[in-house]
């Protein structure tokens, strides 16, 4: 309901000035916005897009345009600015440390997009209006002083590829509770309770049924544990009758 109201608010802003851009969304939140925009589109003329400022971004923001802007690049209206950050000690800043330092400035997570390593530093995608504040206030990440490059742009053909860790597990079936139990290292009953509380998302949609069967290639998001994707290959059965499951965890 709240996401639908925010989507409608964006459209009302768009009606006044011709375009509107929201804040960064997780893939789960994006699904909610897409549903709200589809409903709005049945009633009024509406162009909507999602962009994270870089190809391959998981965290994206919604851009709404009036029909007069059809054919224009949504990135031109997204109000996203990339900052290139390096550390004076020569080390490469880690995602967790960068995000922690930004959040310590009092910023909301929704105004911070993707954070990823690039060459000898990292790139942070930010909502345009907070850039001056960040450039002034972000002076250190951990113990190292920072250097920030504002007039920065990525190559047009750059594609963001997420690092993943390959994990191997033995499970009795591809039921959601079995897989959650293996990934979180808790018992099946605890895993089932966790799922029933709405803490698990499959392909960016909340699932509360512990017996849901997952398929190769499915994406699994577990609150407090991270995001995983099942291997595209069918799990092989072991001699004991269990399944050898390969899962990739996003770093």
For 147-200, how does the pLDDT look when each residue is reduced to its tens digit (9 = 90+)?
999 999 999 899 999 889 999 999 999 999 999 999 999 999 999 999 999 999
* Alpha-carbon distance values, 138 to 66, 79, 156, 239 (Å): 36, 20, 27, 55
Judged by DSSP in three states, 137 sits in helix
Indicate whether 1 pLDDT > 60. Answer: no
CATH architecture of 2-76: 2-Layer Sandwich (3.30)
For the segment 77-86, the average pLDDT, to the nearest whole number, is 96
> For all residues of the chain together, what is the average pLDDT?
93
Give the helix, strand, coil percentages of the chain, each rounded to 5: 30, 30, 35
Q: What's the pLDDT at 84? A: 98
pLDDT for the residue 74: 86
End-to-end CA distance of the chain: give it in Å, rounded.
31
* Residues contacting 162, CB < 8 A, separation 6+: 56, 58, 250, 251
Supply 72's token pair. 């224009």
Q: Is the distance from CB of 206 to CB of 198 less than 8 angstroms?
A: yes
d(CA 108, CA 119): 27
Taking 70 as the threshold, does the pLDDT of residue 141 lie above it?
A: yes
- Residue-wise pLDDT tens digits, 86-137: 999 999 999 999 999 999 999 999 999 999 999 999 999 999 999 999 999 9
CATH class of 80-149: alpha beta
Which pair of structure tokens corresponds to residue 232?
A: 């595209």
List the CATH code of the domain at 164-250.
3.10.290.10
> What is the average per-residue pLDDT within 80-87?
97
pTM: 0.83
**85: how many CB neighbours lie within 10 A of its CB?**
23
What kind and span of H or E run contains 200?
strand 200-202
User: Distances in Å between the alpha carbon of 71 and those of 13, 36, 76, 96, 248?
Assistant: 20, 22, 12, 37, 37
Domain ranges (residues) in the chain = 2-76, 80-149, 164-250
């Amino acid at each position: 309901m709240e996401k639908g109201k925010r989507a409608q608010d964006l459209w009302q802003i768009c009606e006044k000035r011709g375009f509107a851009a929201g804040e960064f969304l997780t893939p789960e939140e994006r699904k909610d916005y897409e549903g709200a925009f589809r409903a709005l589109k049945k009633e009024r003329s509406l162009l909507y897009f999602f962009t994270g400022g870089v190809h391959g971004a998981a965290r994206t923001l919604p851009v709404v345009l009036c029909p007069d802007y059809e054919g224009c690049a949504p990135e031109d209206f997204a109000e996203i600015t990339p900052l290139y950050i390096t550390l004076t000690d020569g080390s490469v800043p880690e995602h967790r440390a960068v995000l922690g330092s930004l959040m310590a400035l009092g910023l909301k997570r929704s105004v911070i997009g993707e954070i990823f390593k690039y060459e000898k530093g990292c790139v942070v995608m930010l909502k345009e209006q907070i850039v001056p504040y960040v450039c002034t206030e972000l002076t250190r990440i951990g113990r190292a002083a920072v250097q920030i490059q504002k007039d920065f742009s990525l190559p047009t053909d750059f594609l963001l590829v997420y690092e993943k860790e390959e994990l191997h597990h033995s499970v009795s079936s591809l039921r959601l509770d079995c897989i959650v139990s293996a990934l979180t290292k808790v018992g099946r009953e605890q895993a089932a309770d966790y799922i029933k509380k709405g803490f698990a998302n499959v392909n960016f949609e909340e699932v509360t049924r512990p017996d849901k069967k997952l398929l190769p290639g499915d994406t699994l998001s577990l609150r407090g544990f991270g995001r995983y994707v099942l291997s595209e290959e069918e799990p092989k059965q072991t001699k004991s009758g269990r399944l050898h499951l390969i899962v990739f965890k996003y770093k």
